[in-house]
Amino acid sequence: MWQSLLGRLRLRDINSGVYGGRWLDRPSGETIESLNPATGEVLARVLLGGENDYDVVAGNSLAAFAAWRKMPPPQRGEIVRLIGEQLRKHKDDLGMLVTLEAGKIRSEGLGEVQEMIDMCDFAVGLSRQLYGLTIASERPEHRLFEQWHPLGPVGVITAFNFPVAVWAWNAALALVCGDPVIWKPSQLTPLTAIAVQQLVNDILEPRGLAGVLNLCAADRDVGEQMAADGRLPLVSATGSTAMGKSVAKTVAERLGRSLLELGGNNGCIVTESADLDLALRAILFAAVGTAGQRCTTLRRLIVHESHAEQLVTRLTKAYQNITVGLPWEEGTLLGPLISESAVKQYTTAITTIKQQGGEVLCGGKQIDRAGYYVQPTIVRAKPAMEIIKHETFAPILYVLTYRELEEAIALHNGVPQGLSSAIFTDRFREAEQFLSPWGSDCGIANVNLGPSGAEIGGAFGGEKETGGGREAGSDAWKTYMRRQTCTLNFGKTLPLAQGVKFDV
Ligand code: NAD
């Protein structure tokens, strides 16, 4: 089934994971196997890039920058429009490849490509709206304004769980802002990255724009090399908090700019007034969707004590009805984890949960079938359990109870991460308190919907150990540009600011 898909996406003849204006013939990194996590089968072998290959790519992207920054932004937007059209044409195939390589169910694989298309559409509009301010000058016959200029090549390091969408959040904005991109995808999902590069090459190469979008499929050592590379004014890194801390430190040492999208540990408060039917549906998608491997996955459910038993009973029942299966099959809701090591992390977490006094209410075991499947799991937890402060990248939901909203908010905020959050309430005061400065401390806060599944129109990202970065919509584009404040004197005198006199 997938052989013809690889053919259509032109992945059969390309085993090099490195593109810097052209596919590099024999990159010097190791050869890795891209696996189908639902079966453990090898999809393809990919030659990764090494240190020298990255160097070639970075050099090329710097050369591409010289021309790309001169193209007027709306013309750059036109290129992004064509890339969006290309993705529309290949949505079905690319979505299926995401399903095959990352194990996401079919609608989520397609949703990810739709997110790329949405990002392109957003960026096309943005290409005519890279506004600077005009500011009232205190000096006569002076004009004070700011303008935004391209920054330079942007390094984009991505995680396995959104193997293509996160690239688009960055690449679509970077392109209209005038920046070339070097993409280092996760070593667990190199094929989707190569497929995207092939598709965008069809747009860029005939127009003499090869080198504007580049790829270096490689191990984390090349990620480290990117963080240290002074040719990249911005490194945008998505992944674990441990990775972000390392990247942040290295980039800061050279006083570069980093944009970090790191781990989450997302909570949802279900109040006394909540619509439980609505909450139940939202919790299921947020906690079990993508097999618990979203940065916005719901991990901590904080329920008013009056509803705890009822909600847990209904949830446990619903968990038993979740269809586990091959992710490309219709009706499947729970696919595999990404790898054997992810399964190991899940089983280790279950042992730790029990040691720390958690009660496994349902699930808790690896599923006995080919591929990397685990049971979606609900745990009755206690606030003192250390493990609930950590992100285990698997479908494990901790249930905690509360009496007063202040207590729920304190519990909610009492973790190192600060990505996404939600409250279910029919009381206006509770909703507003949750959204107030003393409410949720996260970058995303929702009322009567779950923490997972953001639209691209808003800026996406989180606080604390989630890294503080913002990507996608709103004014996230500003991170990809440099701001220049300009003052222009159209008079014949030279008044100084703050009334300073300096006449000879
Ligand atoms: P990971 O940290 O293992 O790897 C992410 C990427 O970073 C990979 O490309 C990897 O090669 C690279 N990398 C690892 N160590 C590095 C280093 N020291 N220097 C430079 N690059 C390095 O993460 P993962 O397992 O692929 O993804 C899951 C994690 O990503 C979860 O923590 C999840 O919450 C997070 N995530 C966050 C967001 C967000 O927007 N906040 C989105 C998706 C995933």
Evaluate if residue 383 carries a pLDDT over 90: yes
Rg for the chain, CA atoms, rounded: 24
* Tokens 């698997």, residue located: 394
Name the residue among 170, 257, 477 with its Cα closest to residue 248: 257
The residue whose C-alpha atom lies closest to atom 22 belonging to ligand 1 is: 220
What lies within 8 Å, CB to CB, of 424 at 6+ separation is 268, 269, 270, 271, 274, 275, 278, 279, 282, 447, 448
Evaluate if residue 471 carries a pLDDT over 90: yes
Evaluate if residue 182 carries a pLDDT over 80: yes
Among 98, 188, 220, residue to substitute to test ligand 1 (most atoms within 8 Å of Cβ): 220
pTM for the predicted model, two decimal places = 0.98
- Identify the active-site residue in 108, 261, 391, 465: 261
186 lines ligand 1 (CB under 6 A): yes
* Contact criterion met (CB below 8 Å) for 308 and 274: no
Question: Which atom of ligand 1 lies at the shortest distance from residue 295's CA?
Answer: 34
Average pLDDT over residues 331-356: 98
Q: Please report, as a single letter, which amino acid is at residue 82.
A: L
The answer to whether 432 is a known catalytic residue is no
Evaluate if residue 14 carries a pLDDT over 90: no
- Identify the active-site residue in 295, 442, 465, 471: 295
169 lines ligand 1 (CB under 6 A): no
167 lines ligand 1 (CB under 6 A): no
The answer to whether 295 is a known catalytic residue is yes
Question: Model confidence over 415-436: pLDDT tens digits?
Answer: 999 999 999 999 999 999 999 9
Evaluate if residue 504 carries a pLDDT over 90: no
The residue whose C-alpha atom lies closest to atom 37 belonging to ligand 1 is: 262
Q: What is the pLDDT of residue 461?
A: 98
Name the residue among 321, 224, 313, 244 with its Cα closest to residue 276: 313
225 lines ligand 1 (CB under 6 A): no
DSSP one-letter string for 401-434: EESSHHHHHHHHH-SSEESEEEEE-S-HHHHHHH
Mean pLDDT (the chain) is 97
Question: Model confidence over 37-63: pLDDT tens digits?
Answer: 999 999 999 999 999 999 999 999 999
Angle between helices 51-68 and 220-228 (to 10 degrees): 50
Q: What is the pLDDT of residue 15?
A: 82
197 lines ligand 1 (CB under 6 A): no
Name the residue among 255, 330, 274, 271 with its Cα closest to residue 304: 271
Evaluate if residue 64 carries a pLDDT over 90: yes
Alpha-carbon distances of 213 from 20, 60, 132, 174, 397, rounded to whole Å: 8, 10, 26, 10, 39
Residue 383 DSSP symbol: T
Say how many Å lie between the CA of residue 240 and the centre of ligand 1: 4
Say how many Å lie between the CA of residue 261 and the centre of ligand 1: 8
Evaluate if residue 477 carries a pLDDT over 80: yes
ipTM: 0.98
The residue whose C-alpha atom lies closest to atom 19 belonging to ligand 1 is: 224
Long-range contacts of 406-413 (CB under 8 A, 24+ apart): 408/269, 408/271, 408/302, 408/304, 409/269, 409/433, 409/434, 409/438, 409/439, 409/440, 411/267, 411/300, 411/302, 411/383, 412/267, 412/269, 412/300, 412/302, 412/440, 413/440, 413/441
Q: What is the pLDDT of residue 320?
A: 95
In whole angstroms, give the CA distance from residue 475 to residue 28. 39
The residue whose C-alpha atom lies closest to atom 1 belonging to ligand 1 is: 239
Name the residue among 291, 444, 302 with its Cα closest to residue 374: 291
Q: How many residues does the chain have?
A: 504
Q: What is the pLDDT of residue 96?
A: 98
Name the residue among 134, 238, 80 with its Cα closest to residue 485: 134
391 lines ligand 1 (CB under 6 A): yes
Among 108, 186, 221, 226, residue to substitute to test ligand 1 (most atoms within 8 Å of Cβ): 186
Q: What is the pLDDT of residue 68?
A: 98
In whole angstroms, give the CA distance from residue 17 to residue 164. 15
224 lines ligand 1 (CB under 6 A): yes
Domains and CATH numbers, the chain: 2-262+467-485 (3.40.605.10), 266-459 (3.40.309.10)
Evaluate if residue 473 carries a pLDDT over 90: yes
Q: What is the pLDDT of residue 12?
A: 81
In whole angstroms, give the CA distance from residue 372 to residue 246. 29
Burial degree of 390 (CB within 10 A; 0-12, 13-18, 19+): middle
Residue 165 DSSP symbol: H
Question: Which atom of ligand 1 lies at the shortest distance from residue 162's CA?
Answer: 43
Among 216, 240, 265, 465, residue to substitute to test ligand 1 (most atoms within 8 Å of Cβ): 240
